[in-house]
Amino acid sequence: MGVLGRLAEGLKKTRAALGQRLEGVLSSALTEEALEELEEVLIGADMGVEAALELTQALRQARPRDTEEAREFLKAQALRLLGRGQPLVVFGQRPFVLMVVGVNGTGKTTTIGKLAHRWVSEGHSVLLAAADTFRAAAAEQLELWARRAGAQVVKQRPGADPAAVAFDAVKAAQARGIEVVIVDTAGRLHTKAPLMEELKKVKRVLGKAHPEAPQEVLLVLDATTGQNALRQARMFHQAVAVTGIALAKLDGSSKGGMVLAIRKELGLAVRLVGLGEGLEDLRDFDPQEFVEGIFG
Ligand SMILES: Nc1nc2c(ncn2[C@@H]2O[C@H](COP(=O)(O)OP(=O)(O)OP(=O)(O)O)[C@@H](O)[C@H]2O)c(=O)[nH]1
Ligand SMILES: [Mg+2]
């Protein structure tokens, strides 16, 4: 790892994709034509039309004197759009309950394993709820992560009601004085209404086990999916009021610009990024480092 941290390292592909074209535009006289090209470059980097327009418009008005000034201005605007970092922290009346949702295979269970490891390392007691009762071997996968992290698990037989597992997990945590419950849910397509209803039920039932629960609802998006992830986010947000995003697989993605689209178009903050498959490969999303990482 160099001067740049792991997040900026993970943004290597995004930076490379943006690379020369951005360089070309910024080093030209910023004519209207060049600004239009910039807009295209930003949209091509998955920042979404709205964020791309906003950044370009700001640059149009700023009339920077040279490339460096243009780049710094772009960074400042992107940073303004992102706002301050919002790390995911344990809070509220015990237990703190985090519900984790998302489409199939985005990285939910892996992110939960990494989070459990982090919170256990910080001295919290953690219990994982295997509310993915749909996929065979989902509970075993979660148990494996729990063992690695030093967390407990509550599970039931395959096919059990996920809301019942979630409820039991919170009750078990209360009985055992555990501080954190992380609820793993089955991957589901945002377009399948009955599955989204099931998710709403899990959330409702968590509220019956503990009046504050779930204190956070984390949507895990796959950073390699780009604009489709935005559609997913919209539907999940509608169903269960997402409070934050974890962007997994950023290490293999050239679409890191989607962080800006998520913020601008959905008003949701990326709180965590996944940078690999290991226990330690999770970082808080740091807007400053992100902006340096993509505009370099
Ligand atoms: N490179 C990389 N791979 C990741 C990351 N996060 C998850 N993965 C991989 O993505 C695959 C799917 O991860 P899971 O955690 O099982 O995803 P899931 O959302 O729980 O999947 P379902 O429960 O089937 O919906 C696994 O092979 C993980 O190792 C990441 O940040 N970087
Ligand atoms: Mg899973």
Tokens found for residue 52: 């791309």
For residue 70, the SS3 value is helix
Which residues, other chains included, contact 5 with Cβ-Cβ below 8 Å and sequence gap of 6+? 283, 286, 289
Tokens found for residue 31: 């004519």
Section 227-254 average pLDDT:
95
Ligand located closest to 111 CA: 1
Residue nearest to atom 17 of ligand 1 (CA): 107
Tell me which residue of 163, 105, 94 sits closest to 129, measured CA to CA: 163
pLDDT of residue 1 exceeding 70, the answer is no
Q: What angle do CA 54, 59, 62 make, to 5 degrees?
A: 125
Residue 31 buriedness (CB in 10 A; 0-12 / 13-18 / 19+) = exposed
The b/e string for 211-238 (b: 16+ C-beta within 10 A; e otherwise) is eebbbbbbbbbbbbbbeebbebbebbbe
Out of 103, 110, 254, mutate this one to test ligand 1's pocket (max ligand atoms within 8 Å of CB): namely: 110
Give me the pLDDT at residue 144, please.
98
Residue nearest to atom 29 of ligand 1 (CA): 277
Q: Which atom of ligand 1 is nearest to the CA of 106?
A: 19
Residues 281 and 117: beta-carbon distance below 8 Å: no
DSSP bridge pairs for 183: 99, 129
For residue 25, the SS3 value is helix
Q: How close is the Cα of 135 to the center of ligand 1, in Å? A: 14
The tens digit of pLDDT for each residue in 135-176 reads 989 999 999 999 999 999 999 999 999 999 999 999 999 999
Q: How close is the Cα of 114 to the center of ligand 1, in Å? A: 11
> What is the tally of helices (H) and strands (E) in the chain?
12, 8
Section 272-282 average pLDDT:
96
Q: How close is the Cα of 134 to the center of ligand 1, in Å? A: 17
Give me the pLDDT at residue 4, please.
61
Beta-strand (E) ranges in 13-140?
Answer: 96-101, 126-131
Is any ligand 1 atom within 6 A of the Cβ of residue 10?
no
Is any ligand 1 atom within 6 A of the Cβ of residue 113?
no
The tens digit of pLDDT for each residue in 84-133 reads 999 999 999 999 999 999 999 999 999 999 999 999 999 999 999 999 99
User: What does the mean pLDDT of the chain come to?
Assistant: 94
Q: How close is the Cα of 129 to the center of ligand 2, in Å? A: 12
Q: How close is the Cα of 210 to the center of ligand 2, in Å? A: 24
Is any ligand 1 atom within 6 A of the Cβ of residue 144?
no
Amino acid letter for position 140: E
Instruction: Compute CA distances 69 → 63, 75, 165, whole Å.
Output: 9, 10, 55
Is any ligand 1 atom within 6 A of the Cβ of residue 274?
yes
DSSP bridge pairs for 241: none
Report the distance separating Cα 227 and Cα 221, nearest Å.
11
The tens digit of pLDDT for each residue in 11-55 reads 998 988 888 888 889 888 889 999 999 999 999 999 999 999 999
In terms of residues, how long is the chain? 296
DSSP bridge pairs for 152: 127
Is any ligand 1 atom within 6 A of the Cβ of residue 140?
no
Tell me which residue of 188, 176, 244, 247 sits closest to 214, measured CA to CA: 244
Is any ligand 1 atom within 6 A of the Cβ of residue 286?
no
Which residues, other chains included, contact 118 with Cβ-Cβ below 8 Å and sequence gap of 6+? 282
Is any ligand 1 atom within 6 A of the Cβ of residue 276?
yes
pLDDT of residue 83 exceeding 90, the answer is yes
